[in-house]
Structure 1
């Protein structure tokens, strides 16, 4: 069966353009791929057009808008997810228009589909006491407990994304002073993150359990499951949630009902900010491209803002002991007569 122009462009887009010209990570490409899986399903279910009959001329602005509505009505996806799907489609049509200008006009029309406004989400983070309680939960007398302690404390100390933790290999660690770990962030950007001595001790105990000091294991995943496979994002989330549930039994006040792996990243950033660490250093730790992204933590720290405003307050006049109208009996009588 002869491939359609849509299948050819999509194949080249996902396998050549995104990893080659755009330098996208594997996980980002998978997220873009999922958009087209949903798009193909929409055309099959809603428009009764199978994938082997789906051609570029059938991908109109009107149909893309209908697809986005279908995502929200049938799949119950959020506005932010809808916007992410639209971004993937815009990128695809830009690529196709470059490859074949006959599709440029329809691509420009699709670029006029507006993003939906999304409310700013509140940042979910734990207090310092909450982090202490969470990290008290792993049983350090067991191998799995020592692994989980090394894993969770590393996630917090480095402020790493869960995928960055999952992708770590043994050779990413430098266990001689100065202790560091090499993280591969978004867009294949590498950053070096310092490690504190206590964290290194947790890692060394865990690595001794797993015999990871053998030079032949340098390229092995740093964190693996009981059967020796690399821990996935869902596997790491499962481990975290297990200890979150245990910690909530001790104190539901300190541990929010919903704690994600990203909550540990948020917590680290907030605690550094509260310790007066400059935003540019927090930016570098988290791997943000711009300090503007990091400024979100400064905006949400209402306690810190209140302290700054209070300390900076300059009285403009001496405060009276009582309101002026209570001193002026004529004024008081007049006010009462109103």
Structure 2
């Protein structure tokens, strides 16, 4: 009788490599942003484990994945790196995803993995977001100026107000994503490669037409709202332009100076019933 050969369980380092190269990319087809977030989590965790255990990443095993180590890492993120509880939980989500992946490939480590998976998410209170009144919003949007930058910024704020989209969605809009027919709309590309179409108000569509007429060099695959170099605007750039618009609006609404205004609460309750600003 021929005895079956014993197969050694995969090493921790090989499972980490398979998790990123095969599972996340090939099998799950995760977005590059998600893969990058998981990668950053592992770089932080492996560096922390090295300092705490004195072991390089190549010497780690699932026996080292004690709940105390994971909890200490999460506390380090929150208190030493000053990460929010939301970020702390996102890092834990990445670790849990890897542990569930490894549990199906290293049966000999199931006990250690099960204990590590018992680390809970941290609960936190979600702050209530405020919003701008219609009059305040229109004051922030203001009137389009004569310069190229002022006209772009005005269209940027109008589209954020019209669509209620994330900043990342608005700055990712290309000329080809805008439909200016009878039923004008814009195609938005959201997180996780989710796509949706949002109707455009008549006034917004008219402003986009005027913008394209002033910028005939913009081609189909170009950003609708580029920076001076013709490249996609950054989130920081959008926040800076919004801050300038809020500062101007403070002349009519001084109370805006005491409020923290970001693109997140750019939608007013009126927009939920598609109330056009014009």
TM over 0.5: yes
Equivalent residue number for residue 271 of structure 2: 272
Query: What secondary structure sits across from 1:244 in the alignment?
Result: helix
Deviation of the 1:93 alpha carbon:
0.7
Match of 1:229 among 228, 231, 244: 231
Q: Distance in 2 between matches of 1:212 and 1:20?
A: 38
Judged with a 3 Å threshold, the aligned counterparts in structure 2 of structure 1 residues 7 and 170 are, in CA distance, closer, same or farther, namely farther
1:213-267: per-residue Cα shift (whole Å, max 9, x none)? 5xxx212222221112211222222222222233235423246521112121xx2
Query: What secondary structure sits across from 2:24 in the alignment?
Result: helix
Q: Does 1:168 align with 2:173?
A: yes
> With structure 2 as the length reference, what TM-score do the two structures score?
0.84
Deviation of the 1:130 alpha carbon:
1.4
Judged with a 3 Å threshold, the aligned counterparts in structure 2 of structure 1 residues 117 and 24 are, in CA distance, closer, same or farther, namely same
Q: Distance in 2 between matches of 1:19 and 1:127?
A: 44
Equivalent residue number for residue 134 of structure 2: 128
1:24-55: per-residue Cα shift (whole Å, max 9, x none)? 33223322222222212312444443444444
Flag the structure with larger Rg: 1
Query: What secondary structure sits across from 2:213 in the alignment?
Result: helix
After superposition, the CA RMSD in angstroms is 2.5
Query: What secondary structure sits across from 2:196 in the alignment?
Result: strand
Contact kept in structure 2, 1:149 and 1:202, CA below 8 Å: no
Match of 2:117 among 107, 111, 122: 111
Q: Does 1:18 align with 2:24?
A: yes
Query: What secondary structure sits across from 2:197 in the alignment?
Result: strand
Alignment of 1:275-286 (within 5 A): 275=273
Contact kept in structure 1, 2:62 and 2:113, CA below 8 Å: no
Judged with a 3 Å threshold, the aligned counterparts in structure 2 of structure 1 residues 14 and 212 are, in CA distance, closer, same or farther, namely farther
Equivalent residue number for residue 250 of structure 2: 248
Deviation of the 1:145 alpha carbon:
0.8
Q: Does 1:72 align with 2:78?
A: yes
Equivalent residue number for residue 62 of structure 1: 68
Equivalent residue number for residue 3 of structure 2: none
Equivalent residue number for residue 6 of structure 2: none
Equivalent residue number for residue 197 of structure 2: 192
Judged with a 3 Å threshold, the aligned counterparts in structure 2 of structure 1 residues 272 and 53 are, in CA distance, closer, same or farther, namely same
Deviation of the 1:158 alpha carbon:
0.6
Deviation of the 1:142 alpha carbon:
0.7
Alignment of 1:208-227 (within 5 A): 208-212=213-217, 217-227=219-229
Q: Does 1:149 align with 2:161?
A: no
Query: What secondary structure sits across from 1:168 in the alignment?
Result: coil
> With structure 1 as the length reference, what TM-score do the two structures score?
0.71
Deviation of the 1:56 alpha carbon:
4.3
Deviation of the 1:182 alpha carbon:
0.8
Q: Distance in 2 between matches of 1:203 and 1:98?
A: 52
Equivalent residue number for residue 285 of structure 1: none
Equivalent residue number for residue 183 of structure 2: 178
Q: Distance in 2 between matches of 1:236 and 1:67?
A: 33
Judged with a 3 Å threshold, the aligned counterparts in structure 2 of structure 1 residues 110 and 154 are, in CA distance, closer, same or farther, namely same
Query: What secondary structure sits across from 2:264 in the alignment?
Result: helix
Q: Distance in 2 between matches of 1:73 and 1:155?
A: 34
